[in-house]
Structure 1
Amino acid sequence: MKAGFVNIFGKPNAGKSTLLNALIGEKMAIVSPKVQTTRHRIKAFLTEPGYQIIFSDTPGIIEPKYKLHEKMMQAVRNSLEDADVAILLADINDDREEVDQLFSKLRLKVPGVFVLNKIDTVSPAKLKEALDWFSDKPYAREIVTLSALKGFDKHDFIEKILKYLPEGEPFYSEDDLTDLPTRFFVGEMIREKIFQFYEDEIPYHTTVLVQEYKEKDTLVKIAADIIVQRETQKAIILGGKGSGIKKLGTEARKDIEAFIGRKVFLELFVKVRPKWRDSEIFLREYGYK
């Protein structure tokens, strides 16, 4: 039996969340074409006869500009400390020097599986160039090429990881998919719709706090606060005559119902908390610990 922690690292928008979802076969992490969608470390468990892999999606590696960014980078550092294997994910279209500097600075103490993602977007010649360029890098114990979005040989990918995973008993029940509560995923699904429906700074100035999650006989009652920094942002979220918040709630409710398998009554409230991204008190309240 093999069991261990396999943590995914990379720049924002490299495709880490898409890869995690593909490996687990369930939507565990929200995705968006916009950068910096992932703010928390999200663990997801893949348990099969002979192994249990605890995958972790981590925030994209950035230079922190405010306290929220610092919390996100702390999640990355924590993931480096407990990893048995590191998946180093890079968009094949990214600058190779920047990718090399990023992963070299991690100073890995565990085997690294270097993954070139989005290979469906380049020519065979460009793919070969990238493979040749990264072939001698010390952090790349293995090099894998794939398209996390279009599909790949999951069995072959897992086999490459298992070579470096230690022997041991499972850490979690085979029925568990994650150690995070349902409320967390509810908040993330609401936040995903904000990334989908709003532009400019709105997604980055917004977070979601699930205040109520009550299971009743016929449905699940959920109440959540959408936190913004300014009154103007609140007005944008609400939309004319509440049209924005209504659309957001309708679409989020559909995803939540599909996720939990029950009918949902969802209430959303928009609240202004100036400079919440730089407030230790607010960040702790909103789950950024």
Structure 2
Amino acid sequence: MTAPSPQDPPHRAGHVAVIGRPNVGKSTLVNALVGAKVSITSKRPQTTRHRLLGIATFPHGQLLLVDTPGIHREQKRAMNRWMNRAARGALEGVDAAMLVVQAGRWDDEDTLAYDTLRSAGVPVVLVVNQVDRIKDKPSLLPFLARAAEGREFAAVHPVSALKRQGLEGLVDSLLALLPEQPPLYAEDEITDKSQRFLAGELVREQLMRLLGAELPYATTVEVERFEVEGNLLRIGAVIWVEREGQKAIVIGKGGERLREIGSRARAQMERLFGAKVFLETWVRVREGWSDDEAALRALGYHE
């Protein structure tokens, strides 16, 4: 390995929490910084349910991005309360945080997210995402000023995670907040989650994308089988729903929808894992699982 020259900046590495209200593009931002799909995305709020570490490695540093469920006020069900705990728990032991907001919009849930970060006592970078959607560009500067007024931010960065715009400056600002130390993960590592976990998430991503308005929130995925046979992965996934009527909807007429869910998820798995995938899916009913703490733990929702 070539020794660094005296002019090279010191290598920095550390944990950065990614916090914000639901549906502001936190997972898209993590994927863009990592350079690979480690966190599932959809247009629906609360797609992310678990804390997930995305590892973004650069020549001069390494960002360990803690992707979290969106912080929200509604806590009617055990699932909602679990996601809020997961989001707040992500702040433990981090070196810095990103508060991700939507360009042109700041509401009470953004304030809630900011207050959560302020109480954690870590430096916060404000990331104003989706600036590509703002047609009236001159209106962006006044919005940035209003968002920062009366609040303490280490830096403010307007970005488009989807189009990967504005990310270089963001990376530099984040690394400047981290301690000087060597990389904490190998250069080829992109997440701390197992392939088994990621397989379940990729199936759930298709549920979020292909099902009607409320049904995705009544579903979860459990991977019962994950076998490696050379360059072939044999994966068996159970889609859990809460009622028999929901089971019929997920399966679809003649099994058509379930086949589409499986086909799309399999293609994503093969792209991410770099292997051939044989995927089987089943749909089963477990009444009230999303409002049952014991059921959540049994289905892999651990603190």
Find the counterpart in structure 2 of residue 115 from structure 1.
Answer: 127
Give runs of aligned pairs for residues 116-135 of structure 1, distance below 5 A: 116-122=128-134, 123-135=136-148
> Residue in 2 aligned with 1:95?
106
Matched, 1:271 2:284: yes
Distance 2:240 2:96 in 1: 36
Give 5+ residue unaligned stretches, structure 2.
1-10
Q: Secondary structure at the match of 1:80?
A: coil
Superposition deviation, residue 257 in structure 1: 1.3
Q: In 2, Cα distance between the equivalents of 1:257 and 1:99?
A: 36
Question: What percentage of aligned pairs have identical amino acids?
Answer: 38
- Corresponding residue of 1:182: 195
Contact in 2 for aligned 1:112/1:142 (Cα 8 Å): yes
The letter of the residue matching 1:278 is: D
Residue range with higher mean Cα deviation, 12-21 or 64-73: 64-73
Q: Report runs of 4+ in structure 1 exceeding 6 Å deviation.
A: none
The residue type paired with residue 39 of structure 1 is R
Q: Is the 8 A contact 2:62 2:175 kept in 1?
A: no
Q: Which residue of 1 aligns with 2:16?
A: 6
Q: Quick one: structure 1 residues 24 and 278, their matched pair in 2 at CA, closer, same or farther if it must change by over 3 Å?
A: same
Q: 221, 227, 242: which one pairs with 1:214? A: 227
1:104 lines up with 2:139 in the alignment: no
Q: Deviations over 1:182-219 (max 9, x none)?
A: 01110111001111110121110000000001112462
Q: Is residue 2:65 matched to residue 1:78?
A: no
Conserved in 2, the CA contact under 8 Å of 1:103 and 1:139?
no
Does the 8 A contact of 1:209 with 1:286 survive in 2? yes
Sort the Cα spacing of 1:135 and 1:54 in 2 relative to 1 into closer, same or farther, 3 A. Answer: same
TM-score scaled by length of structure 2: 0.91
The whole-number CA distance in structure 2 between the counterparts of 1:18 and 1:226 is: 24
Q: Structure 1 length normalisation: TM-score?
A: 0.95
1:53 pairs with one of 43, 52, 63: 63
SS for the counterpart of 1:82 is coil
- Alpha carbons of 1:182 and 1:218: their partners in 2 closer, same or farther (altered >3 Å)? closer
Q: Distance in 2 between matches of 1:218 and 1:259?
A: 13
Shift of 1:138: 2.8
Q: Which has the larger displacement, 183-192 or 97-106?
A: 97-106
Give the distance between the partners of 2:195 and 2:271, measured in 1 at CA.
13
**What SS is found at the alignment partner of 2:91?**
helix
- Greater Cα offset, 39-48 or 151-160: 151-160
- In structure 1, how many angstroms separate the alpha carbons of the residues matched to 2:271 and 2:210? 20
Gaps of 5+ in 1: none
Whether the 8 Å CA contact 1:111–1:141 is kept in 2: the answer is yes
CA 1:217/1:47 → structure 2, altered by over 3 Å: closer, same or farther? closer
Change (3 A) 1:97 1:35: closer
* Cα shift readout 1:230-278 (whole Å, capped 9, x = no counterpart): 0000000011111111111111111111111111111101010001012
1:258 corresponds to = 271
